[in-house]
Amino acid sequence: MVRGTGRRHLLTSSRLSTRLGQWLKPLLGLWSRLISGSLPASHAINTAIKEEIGDFEDWMKTIWSLICKSNNGWIRSLSNSDIGISNYL
């Protein structure tokens, strides 16, 4: 009796794994197609964001450089004048 139960269990699990395989195969195919389509799109978005961040960093460096040059010019003009910079500090 135990042998018969074991065989039935083996046949049932074999059928179940076959059915799961038949069910999973198209699902995995669909999943791989979705992933293969989304990876290039994700890469393109990441590249665009990195370029925009780089552009923003360049813009901020330019603005900061202009501000520093302006401040340096202002300080030099005060230090060269008769009034002196100590009156402003």
Give the CA radius of gyration of the chain: 36
pTM above 0.85, yes or no: no
Residue with tokens 């813009």: 59
From CA 84, how far away is CA 76, in angstroms rounded?
10
CA 48 to chain centre: 10
The pLDDT value given to residue 60: 93
Count CB-CB contacts under 10 A for residue 78. 15
Q: What is the pLDDT, as a whole number, of residue 81?
A: 66
Q: pLDDT at position 59, please?
A: 92
Q: Give pLDDT tens digits along the chain (89 positions).
A: 455 565 666 666 777 777 777 877 888 888 888 787 788 888 889 999 999 999 999 999 999 998 888 888 777 777 776 665 555 55
The predicted pLDDT at position 1 comes to 46
